[in-house]
């Protein structure tokens, strides 16, 4: 585990767009948000250009990411939005030499590809936390914006989750488990299977979330993971928010039935209720840092080290 440096006012924040494009007003909102925190946003002039799928051509998106990784005057890479595109950059990213000093990557959703690469290949600690377009549009509540600020500026040394619910006996029987958190978006993690950057969950809690996926698709992705051996020696599954995915002609989903099935099928603990993902509340989840899960009198507490340090 490597530690990132706590933010200080005046720090330069490198903004990248490895996936979908953002609209000009969203970029302006992100710029204004970072200024509000007394940070210096560095948003390349040609970061976003017309493209039929992404924020820019692969080579351009990678070029901006590479520049952010290699810049000597910044320590943070914050993504504008998710969507799709980050996994196309991994073969190019794999050719880079690991920097001597780690940086902090922030983002969710499609950014899971980059989280997985940076944590597994370079040993960095990263942060699964709101994207800049969301923060710039004021879609994060004052309470949760403050929590994120406190984490990034070192006012909070850990993130605590108190609403986890055990879904099987293996989870109910845990009293203490020291581990780390890996994972992110389920659909993105499925795309890592069979690649050099396949998600590695041994001796870790695997955190999963997603949006717009029907029950059968979630089940299919979990089965693919099982057949790929992802759950072997995994300390357990921790399910975040799964939103959308209603069955055709219905306002209901089959998510509950799917997770009940997997909790019964797997011989590892399965918990539900992490407040992270694509829903309204998107609490920060530090990845590849130490964590402790305790359970007493039916109450579960997951405490995750933020991974930060004073510079």
What token pair was written down for 143?
């309470």
Which of 113, 147, 179, 209 is flagged as catalytic? Answer: 209
Contacts of 9 (CB under 8 A, 6+ apart): 37, 38, 39
Is 109 noted as a catalytic residue in this protein?
Answer: yes
Rounded CA-CA distance 163/135 in Å is: 24
Which of 22, 74, 109, 113 is flagged as catalytic? Answer: 109
Whole-angstrom CA distances from 77 to 12, 43, 98, 107, 225 are 9, 11, 15, 9, 29
Is 101 noted as a catalytic residue in this protein?
Answer: no
- Report strand pairing: 158-161 vs 299-305: antiparallel
Q: Using CA of residue 244, residue 57, residue 124, residue 147, what is the dihedral sign?
A: negative
HEC secondary structure over 168-228: CHHHHCCCEEEEEEEEEEHHHHHCCCCCCCCCCCECCEEEEEEECCCHHHHHHHHHHHHHC
| Centroid of chain to Cα 165 | 21
Residue appearing with tokens 């979990």: 222
Work out the angle at residue 101's Cα, subtended by the Cα atoms of residues 100 and 106, and round it to the nearest 5 degrees.
135
Other residues' Cβ atoms within 10 Å of the Cβ of residue 23? 11
Is 224 noted as a catalytic residue in this protein?
Answer: no
Catalytic positions, written as ranges:
109, 209, 278
């Amino acid at each position: 585990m490597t530690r990132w440096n706590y933010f200080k006012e005046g720090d330069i924040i490198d903004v990248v767009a490895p996936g979908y494009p953002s609209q000009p007003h969203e970029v302006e909102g992100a710029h204004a948000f970072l200024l509000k925190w007394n940070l210096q946003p560095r948003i390349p002039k040609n970061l976003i250009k017309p493209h039929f799928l992404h924020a820019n051509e692969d080579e351009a998106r990678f070029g901006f990411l590479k520049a952010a990784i290699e810049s000597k005057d910044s320590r943070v890479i914050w993504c504008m939005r998710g969507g799709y595109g980050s996994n196309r950059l991994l073969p190019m990213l794999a050719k880079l030499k690991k920097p001597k000093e780690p940086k902090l990557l922030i983002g969710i959703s499609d950014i899971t590809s980059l989280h997985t690469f940076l944590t597994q290949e370079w040993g960095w600690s990263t942060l699964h936390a709101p994207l800049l377009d969301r923060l710039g549009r004021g879609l994060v509540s004052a309470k949760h914006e403050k929590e994120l600020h406190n984490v990034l500026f070192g006012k909070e040394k850990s993130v605590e989750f108190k609403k986890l619910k055990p879904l099987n006996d293996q989870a109910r029987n845990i009293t203490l488990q020291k581990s780390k958190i890996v994972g992110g978006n389920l659909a993105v993690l499925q795309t890592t299977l069979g690649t050099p950057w396949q998600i590695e969950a041994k001796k870790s809690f695997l955190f999963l979330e997603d949006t717009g996926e029907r029950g059968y698709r979630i089940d299919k992705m979990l089965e693919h993971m099982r057949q790929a051996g992802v759950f072997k020696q995994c300390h357990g599954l921790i399910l975040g928010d799964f939103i959308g995915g209603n069955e055709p002609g219905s306002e209901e989903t089959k998510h509950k039935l799917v997770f009940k099935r997997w909790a019964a099928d797997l011989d590892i603990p399965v918990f539900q209720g992490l407040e992270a993902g694509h829903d309204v509340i998107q609490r920060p989840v530090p990845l590849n840092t130490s964590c402790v899960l305790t359970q007493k009198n039916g109450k579960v507490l997951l405490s995750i080290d933020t991974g930060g340090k004073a510079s």
